[in-house]
């Protein structure tokens, strides 16, 4: 996992300030989903990330993941495993952890020989179905308890050899584009920590409004088209700030996004002015996955994001929550 150092982010923020608003008060507009509540036990010491993981995820719902959810997940995993970048997913095992009260959301972890190699996050829809909210390879695994452990020590919430603070609870939550840890202590402000980067987030609470447009269970799910940049290079918007001077692209739908992405030598930067901290933005879009289902002409698009393009997000969410600018890879 690549986390941009704080000093680099601070320096870049000075250049970003004229174009991007502060994310400090951006909580209310984060599109939402569900929260999973798992309170850690008290009167014990947590000296390793493994011990923290056992504590946080020890209290699970006794019911297993619904068979319909497992079937849908298997279909998606099977299709992805046909791609070179997901070849390790063939014959992999899948485990499920609930991420929402009433099992509204699930984290499906894909493992090979006991080692996590990928994930899917699925959330319930208003009609009682499930939607693929995001997926990715091991480079960008969410809910990394080692990163969480390090951040909690840095914040002074966990102290090596000391007992857990009384009343401490750690909850795994998910809102649109945002896997997050909610850390609560009686009499203290709630702390939200990004579930991938482990950055402390300047938000009061993720908004729970749902965002539609992701892949849902249907017959004949197919990953019909994949697109990657013509120039394969590491794409980090902080390494090349020229995109700040490019105009906002007039992208209103998937067809516009595909056309912009396929422009020669161009990659795209997603940014959400005023809300970047909520979504881990800005980040480059370095690939597209186009999903189709039998009997339907419309497609569902997911964008590969991040420095290694290993986290795939529904473009419907990106289109509704932010904007796109051009990052010319030839300048990096």
pLDDT over 70, % of the chain: 76
The answer to whether residues 110 and 120 touch, using CB atoms and an 8 Å cutoff, is: yes
- Report CA-CA distances (Å) from 232 to 235, 268, 285: 9, 13, 12
The answer to whether residues 94 and 77 touch, using CB atoms and an 8 Å cutoff, is: yes
Beta strands in 21-104 (DSSP E): 34-38, 93-98
**DSSP element (H, E) containing 288:** strand 283-292
52-81 confidence digits (pLDDT tens): 777 776 545 434 788 999 999 999 999 999
Domain-terminating residue out of 160, 176, 210: 210
Q: Are residues 53 and 76 in the same domain?
A: yes
Fill in the DSSP letter of residue 230.
S
- Rounded CA-CA distance 140/124 in Å is 23
249-292 confidence digits (pLDDT tens): 999 999 999 988 887 556 789 999 988 887 888 998 888 999 99
Q: Is the predicted pLDDT of residue 299 greater than 80, yes or no?
A: yes
- Report CA-CA distances (Å) from 66 to 70, 71, 124, 183: 6, 9, 12, 28
Residue 10 belongs to a domain: no
pLDDT of residue 266: 66
Residue 216 belongs to a domain: no
| Six token digits for residue 108 | 């499906």
Q: Are residues 191 and 47 in the same domain?
A: yes
- Report CA-CA distances (Å) from 268 to 19, 114, 304, 329: 16, 35, 11, 9
| Average pLDDT for 220-225 | 90
Fill in the DSSP letter of residue 78.
H
Size of the chain, expressed as the number of residues it contains: 332
Q: Is the predicted pLDDT of residue 26 greater than 50, yes or no?
A: no
Q: Is the predicted pLDDT of residue 22 greater than 80, yes or no?
A: no
Q: Are residues 45 and 189 in the same domain?
A: yes
Q: What is the number of structural domains in the chain?
A: 2
Q: Is the predicted pLDDT of residue 314 greater than 80, yes or no?
A: yes
Q: Are residues 226 and 201 in the same domain?
A: no
Nearest to 1 by CA among 107, 113, 151: 151
Average pLDDT, whole number, for the chain?
78
Q: Are residues 151 and 227 in the same domain?
A: no
The answer to whether residues 221 and 75 touch, using CB atoms and an 8 Å cutoff, is: yes
Residue 14 belongs to a domain: no
pLDDT of residue 30: 31
Most confident of 56-70, 198-212, 295-309: 295-309
pLDDT of residue 23: 36
Q: How confident is the model at residue 300 (pLDDT cuts 50, 70, 90)?
A: very high
| Average pLDDT for 143-160 | 90
| Average pLDDT for 141-161 | 89
82-135 confidence digits (pLDDT tens): 999 899 999 999 999 888 655 578 999 999 998 999 999 999 888 888 999 999
Q: Is the predicted pLDDT of residue 296 greater than 70, yes or no?
A: yes
Q: Is the predicted pLDDT of residue 213 greater than 60, yes or no?
A: yes
**DSSP element (H, E) containing 222:** strand 222-227
Q: Are residues 137 and 45 in the same domain?
A: yes
Query: Picking from 32-46, 187-201, 205-219, which range would have the lowest pLDDT averaged per residue?
Result: 32-46
Q: Domain residues for 318?
A: 222-331
The SS3 of residue 120 is strand
Q: Is the predicted pLDDT of residue 209 greater than 70, yes or no?
A: no
233-252 confidence digits (pLDDT tens): 557 888 878 888 888 999 99
Q: Are residues 174 and 312 in the same domain?
A: no
Residue 147 belongs to a domain: yes
The answer to whether the Cα torsion of 37, 40, 46, 50 is positive or negative is negative
Q: How confident is the model at residue 210 (pLDDT cuts 50, 70, 90)?
A: low
pLDDT of residue 208: 60
Alpha helix segments (H runs only) across 81-198: 145-154
Single pTM value for the model: 0.81
- Rounded CA-CA distance 315/130 in Å is 17
Q: How confident is the model at residue 222 (pLDDT cuts 50, 70, 90)?
A: very high
Domain-terminating residue out of 177, 210, 243: 210
Q: Are residues 48 and 119 in the same domain?
A: yes
The SS3 of residue 211 is coil
Q: Are residues 243 and 144 in the same domain?
A: no
């Amino acid at each position: 996992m690549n986390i941009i150092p704080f000093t680099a982010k601070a320096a870049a923020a000075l250049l970003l300030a004229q174009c991007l608003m502060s994310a400090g008060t951006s909580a209310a507009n984060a599109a939402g989903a569900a929260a999973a509540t798992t309170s850690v036990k008290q009167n014990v010491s947590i000296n390793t990330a493994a011990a923290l993981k056992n504590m946080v995820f020890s209290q699970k719902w006794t019911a297993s993941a619904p068979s319909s959810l497992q079937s849908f997940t298997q279909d998606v995993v099977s299709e992805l495993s046909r791609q070179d970048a997901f070849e390790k997913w063939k014959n992999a095992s899948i485990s499920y952890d609930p991420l929402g009260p009433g099992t509204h959301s699930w984290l499906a972890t894909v493992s090979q020989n006991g080692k996590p190699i990928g994930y899917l996050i699925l959330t319930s829809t208003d009609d009682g179905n499930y939607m693929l909210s995001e997926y990715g390879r091991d480079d960008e695994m969410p809910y990394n308890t080692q990163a969480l452990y390090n951040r909690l020590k840095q914040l002074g919430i966990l102290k090596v050899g000391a007992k857990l603070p009384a009343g401490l609870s750690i909850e795994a939550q998910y809102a649109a584009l945002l896997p997050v840890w909610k850390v609560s202590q009686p009499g203290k402000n709630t702390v939200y920590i990004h579930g991938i980067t482990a950055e402390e987030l300047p938000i009061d609470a993720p908004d729970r409004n749902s965002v539609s447009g992701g892949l849902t269970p249907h017959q004949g799910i197919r990953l019909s088209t994949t697109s990657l940049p013509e120039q394969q290079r590491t794409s980090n918007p902080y390494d090349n700030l020229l995109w700040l001077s490019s105009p906002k692209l007039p992208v209103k739908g998937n067809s516009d996004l595909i056309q912009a992405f396929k422009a020669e030598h161009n990659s795209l930067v997603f940014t959400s002015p005023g809300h970047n901290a909520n979504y881990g933005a800005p980040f480059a879009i370095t690939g597209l996955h186009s999903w189709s289902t039998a009997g339907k002409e419309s497609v569902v698009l997911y964008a590969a994001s991040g420095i290694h393009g290993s986290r795939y997000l529904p473009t419907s969410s990106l289109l509704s929550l932010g904007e796109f600018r051009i990052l010319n890879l030839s300048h990096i």
